[in-house]
Structure 1
């Protein structure tokens, strides 16, 4: 799609006027709680998904229970944009089901003048790279960044054919139609990913459900196997302290207390398949799996006896028990987990063949639902990039020259 040919064809030499959002939107009102006679659904800042740009959950509030920030009445086709931590780009279009409900004062409510702009025209412009750059420039506050409603409404968007509203809305509608095609595809893939994640969780629970010795479950969902403590069947190795001076450029990740490596080291002290458990900090107890050399610091690794356990099987089992593991954390200031609790942690010992079967199934689900190089996450990322490419292409309207 050629930007010039497509836009030139749509515009047909018509003018383009850039107007501030405040000039093409209507004023809104706040709720008068003293006069309210019904319950309302409250759209808080966390109610809108950053990923899907949709309302995912709301709470029910009454005049007596409503928080002080529950003030802004919203209507169908309003675009709401979170002005608190604005670079997170939390926004959505209000649908029929939330018309007449109340939103947080942390949102700027953009109510389009529908004889000038389409609601989706504003929605897609709020998603644009230009708008995000504008927000980054005009937000204030380092610890708790925010941007005012007034400043949001100063952002300018193009209005094609301002002297011919009918043609203007037709041009907007055609561009919106194209962009909606991409967003709808992304939404479908995201819904599919959510369904697959639920399916993955269900099958993981079933596959890793074993009957402990001495219990009387004997249900179809559990399998009777031998249980041992991790200390009986695995070796624990503690991380080695490392200073910045000791680091050198290299390709060996340093794994400490989080899901991602912090920096790189030129030497290695772990080889093969390694289960790593973060020892302290916000990610204390987080279980990760590495099939490459790593340098271990504020964490410890688990190395199962290879004659009876497949490392990836124990990884999946511990991952499925993350809730239990988080409950093992100690310390009020800096939370931490201790090796000795893990040494006494009971794990099932099915046959190696059964372990291999379970690992193969769960690895496939994991790749489908989590991998950024394959599966649905990769497809969603590609479709999002495609949307952004065509959005920026279709929004390439000529801008007025700025006087020096």
Structure 2
């Protein structure tokens, strides 16, 4: 490979044949990536992640046909997946799958997770080597896209966690990952990530504490906003034993999914006011299938089955001002309003037929109030789905156009306050990370 001083372009460069004995993908030889790893390796004084690892094990996802793995009657444990890991170093336990204690202590005994263990993402799109530390008292297991690392102490695990989540180190991890559609980092490459000792993470950790405080305040404000919208748009019936044992007429089930959650009596119910079914006032269309293989990175987000966009595209198929509802996956039913053009993929696109009667944005706020109900409409064990037929009869209360605009304005003001609180806290974290990244490259 030519010397760095001779390379003028990070997108057009030359590599000697002898330098390509192990890897042949251009991304691995990108000059900026190679330069970053060279500097960090020199700073590490040949210390690598393997020097701190007592054990490293991957998990597995039990087959759906293995009934014992999902029989939770004799105990269950959290089953941690990639989406439960965060770059802020803490496990996100707001939502997780569960497996039986019997398989946790049997076939998956090697991948058990306990408090103080370091968890690292090794497979999937987005950031690579995202790390989190299991909280004290935690017990769970992992799938094949995560590894659990045992270290000599929780303090050491926390240091490695903060280190791996730095952008500079993530660049090194991504450089060594392989695969196009679903990138993966093999164990050897992970173990060989250079580790620089003696970094002062005090400022970064203080910023993470500030994020916790900010998030707690934001959750309070969001709960208040949700209560405001529910009071305005819907009411809840009192929960009774009828939720556990009840009779549903066959007539009411025709054309519907036959799932108990859908007919629960304590679900949200419309106020006594004029309302219209979603399909009467909105167009409901399916997104267009697309894969990362067929995508050329561009300015338009591709909206699939998750809460975030997995990649971008140079083209779009949906104008701004549309609602998407995730059609499959763990977050099937997720409501998202888009104020810019998007490429709608694995989702349902919702748009008002007449903006002078129902604003699409207003409809999105009503649907967000129904969010938990929409999640409960998921069908299918392996890959849950929500279909157009499931949501077409959702009732949207009618309000005057001026009233709709007032509601939107109030919601925007409240969300702006929440966003400012969050942004301030996360900005402190990003600034702390930037300072350490600059130190590593100095």
Match of 1:337 among 388, 404, 407: 388
Q: Which residue, out of 40, 45, 56, partners 2:81?
A: 45
Provide the secondary structure at the position in 2 that maps to 1:96: coil
Partner of 2:110: 71
1:132 aligns to what?
170
* Aligned position for 2:250: none
- CA apart distance, 1:84: 3.1
- Higher gyration radius (CA): 1
Q: CA deviation at 1:389?
A: 0.5
Task: Give the match for residue 83 of structure 1.
Answer: 122
Alignment partner of 1:301 out of 328, 339, 351: 351
Q: Deviations over 1:180-207 (max 9, x none)?
A: 1222223333343344434433332222
The secondary structure found in structure 2 opposite 1:155 is coil
Which residue is equivalent to 1:359? 408
Cα distance between partner residues in 2 of 1:54 and 1:138: 24
Number of the residue aligned with 2:34: none
In structure 2, the residue matched to 1:227 is 275
Alignment RMSD (CA, Å):
5.5
Deviation per CA, 1:246-278: give whole Å up to 9, x if none.
xxxxxx98999999896568xxx98xx955567
User: Partners in 2 of 1:237 and 1:94 — Cα distance?
Assistant: 42
Q: CA 1:68 to 1:368, structure 2 compared with 1: closer, same or farther past 3 Å?
A: farther
1:111 corresponds to which of 151, 154, 164: 151
- The alignment's TM-score, normalised by the length of structure 1, stands at 0.58
Match in the other structure for 1:153: 191
Question: Between Structure 1 and Structure 2, how many residues are aligned?
Answer: 331
In the superposition, the TM-score normalised over structure 2's length comes to: 0.54
Aligned to 1:179: 204
CA distance in structure 2 between the aligned counterparts of 1:254 and 1:39, rounded to whole angstroms: 41
Partner residue, 1:385? 430
2:51 is aligned, of 23, 26, 30, to 23
- What per-residue deviation string (whole Å, max 9, x for no partner) do you get for residues 33-66 of structure 1? xxxxx97855523573325432333747434565
Find the residue that maps to 2:192 and give its secondary structure: coil
SS in 1 for 2:107: coil
- Asked if structure 2 preserves the Cα contact closer than 8 Å seen for 1:120 and 1:176, the reply is no
Secondary structure of the structure 2 residue equivalent to 1:19: coil
Q: CA deviation digits over 1:327-362, x for unaligned, max 9?
A: 9999x9x98638xx85x7643234556544433332
Mark the runs of 5 or more structure 1 residues left unpaired by the alignment.
1-14, 32-37, 160-170, 212-216, 242-251, 398-404
1:94 to 131, 134, 138: 134
Change (3 A) 1:66 1:56: farther
Does the alignment pair 1:192 with 2:192? no
Q: Which residue of 2 aligns with 1:166?
A: none
Cα–Cα, structure 1 residues 79 and 313, in superposed 2: closer, same or farther, change >3 Å? Answer: closer
Measured after TM superposition, the shift of residue 107 of structure 1 is: 0.8
Q: What CA distance in whole angstroms lies between the structure 2 residues aligned with 1:108 and 1:294?
A: 37
> Contact conserved, 1:285 with 1:326, CA < 8 A, in 2?
yes
Paired residue for 2:398, among 349, 353, 365? 349
